[in-house]
Amino acid sequence: MESGVDEFISDFSRFYILTLLYERPAHGYSIISKFRKRLGKEVSPSLVYPFLKRLEQKGMVNHTVKPVGEKERKIFELTDEGRELCSRLFKRFAKLISIAIEPSLEVCSHCGCKVYEGGYHEVIEGKETTFCCKHCANSYKQEKNYT
């Protein structure tokens, strides 16, 4: 893989590690397991553990040692500062996703909301018209006296 692609995958992996910690505290092996189960991808322990250590050095996570089964594990938990960082990252990521999918969105002809998937379509005066739901379609037709 090219260096830039490797960095991108590593950055995505780190972002997803933060997402998992945002959901709940976890130990390193648990993060690796959830990563594999949810995304169907492997993440290297050589990425996970140094990243957790760096987060801790920057005050984004704390760890406590707790028994898990027969072993003791470091359970990592986001600090308030870490949760704030995640919130900012999630908002930025949401904006990027919004920009990426915006061209493929449809808009309800009645209320103007964005229709992400499916929607309700009806032919009105020979033109297919998009609505978010049947109720908006009915309200639109009543307002325009199509009923």
d(CA 63, CA 51): 13
What is the residue range of 69's domain?
A: 3-102
CA 86 to chain centre: 11
Q: What is the pTM of this model?
A: 0.66
Assign residue 59 the CATH number of its domain.
Answer: 1.10.10.10
Q: Which residues contact 15 (CB under 8 A, 6 or more apart)?
A: 89, 93
In this structure, are residues 22 and 61 in contact, taking their beta carbons and an 8 Å threshold?
no
56 shares its domain with 84: yes
48 shares its domain with 23: yes
d(CA 52, CA 35): 15
76 shares its domain with 26: yes
Name the domain count of the chain.
2
| 26-74 pLDDT tens trace | 999 999 999 999 988 889 999 999 999 999 999 999 999 998 888 899 9
